[in-house]
Amino acid sequence: MNAAKMIGHQSLWLARRLLSGVIVVWAAATFTFFVQFLMPGERAQIIFNANSGNVGEIPRDQLLAINAKYGFDQPVIVQYGRYIRDVMHGDLGQSYVQYQPVTDLIGRQIGPTIALAFAAVLTAWIITITTTVLFAGRDNIWSKALGGLQVFLATLPPYWLATILLVVFAIQLRLFPVVGGNTLMGLVLPTIALALEIYGFLGQAVLSEFTRVLDQPFITSSRMRGTGDLGIRLRHALRHAALPGITLSGWIIGKLLSGAVLIEAVFGRQGLGGVLVAATSTRDVPVVSGVILVSAALFVATSLFVDLTVQLIDPRMKEA
């Protein structure tokens, strides 16, 4: 295949991927829109309760007023059309509870969440690469201990680990702030707590592939050329072993975007997870939908990034 054709092939693939990404986000939007009708209670009631601060039955006139204001009196299909149109214009609606646009609400929280997710995955990768290159496939006690440690970390509840870290390093040793907010120092402990859990999974995936690759004929072939052990590990085995880890990382990042709630809670951090929990408990539908929609979009972007990275490392994937 010549280069020009390869590039054409590649952009076609990219276009197809972007289109399927748009479909995924649209499906998420449609799903969250229709699911709100399955939730118990009138939406107007939720808004009324949030406005008035009490939980009494909504008066008839208030009900009509709120329905008219939010367009709940329109047919469902009209509401759906309006919602999709707004989403396409980047408008995710108004929070029922907090009287502000959902985009503002999410915009403020998304930064810390992404920072934490990427910092945690990056840290996990650093630990994974270091321990794998140093210990994998060696016929010694450290190699065996490494596998055991990974299983232990994978099974450990991360919020428990987070609490321990908090008590030891923040409260007793006072090395880090207890409530870190968005400072760099405040990012350290939650990152470590999450990274160790991720390492439990990521490390296992990379370790097993690394060990398998070390037995391949092309490794022996390279040794027969006089390549040293470190060269074998860094130049040959690591690339192969990284592939399953990268695929796994995409999934982990996607999960962390809305799933780091407990860690965020322990360290008093802001984040999408907290927003989602609060919005769900107050039935703040636009916020819930917004968070799901943004998570879906980030997930699509991450998996595209993951696939591109995999192709960069293993060009054979381009042809598949």
Partner 1 sequence: MNVTYPTASFRQNATPPAASVPLLRVQNLNVSFGPAHSRRDVVKSVSFTVEEGRCVAIVGESGSGKSVTARTLVGLTGARSHVQADRLTFQGKSIDHLGDTEWRALRGKGIGFVLQDALVSLDPLRPVGKEIGEALTVHRAIRTGGELTERVVELLKLVGVPEPAVKARQLPHELSGGQRQRALIATAIALDPALLIADEPTTALDVTIQAQILDLLGETRERGKAVILISHNLAVVSQMADEVIVMRHGEIVEHGSSEQIFGNPRHDYTRSLLKAIPSVRSRGSRLSSSKAPRFISAERDVTKALAQSDIAQRSRPLLEAEGLVKHFRGPDGKLRTVVNDVSFRLGHGETLGIVGESGSGKTTVARMALALERPDLGEVTLEGALWTAATEKERRQRRSDISVIYQDPLSSFDPRWSIERVIDDALARRRGDPLDRASRRSEVSELLDLVGLSSSFRNRRPLELSGGQRQRVAIARAIAPRPKIIVCDEPVAALDVSIQAQILDLLGDLKSHLRVSYLFISHDLGVVHHLSDRVLVMNHGVAVEAGGADDVFLRPRQPYTRKLVAAVPQLRFQAA
* Phi, psi dihedral angles at 101 (to 5 degrees): -60, 140
Least distance in angstroms from the C-beta of 5 to partner 1: 8
Binding site for partner 1 (CB under 8 A): 1, 5, 9, 139, 216-218, 220-229, 231, 235-236, 239-240, 313-316, 319-320
Shortest reach from residue 313's CB to partner 1, in Å = 7
Other Cβ atoms less than 10 A from the Cβ of 91: the count is: 14
Tell me the closest approach of the beta carbon of residue 46 to partner 1, in angstroms. 53
Q: Of the candidates 281, 136, 107, 134, which has an alpha carbon nearest to the alpha carbon of residue 204?
A: 136
Residue 262 or residue 308: which is nearer to partner 1 going by CB? 308
Q: Please, what is the minimum distance in Å from the beta carbon of residue 4 to partner 1?
A: 13
- State which residue, 129 or 288, has the beta carbon closest to partner 1: 129
Q: How far is CA 134 from CA 138, 166, 219, 292, in A?
A: 9, 30, 17, 40
Q: Say if CB 103 and CB 91 are below 8 A apart.
A: yes
Shortest Å distance, C-beta 250 to partner 1: 19
Q: Which two tokens stand for residue 42?
A: 């009138």
**How many angstroms from the chain centroid is the CA of residue 317?**
24
Nearer to partner 1, 107 or 315 (CB): 315
Give the residue with the Cβ less far from partner 1, 100 or 221.
221
Q: Which is nearer to partner 1, 2 or 172 (CB)?
A: 2
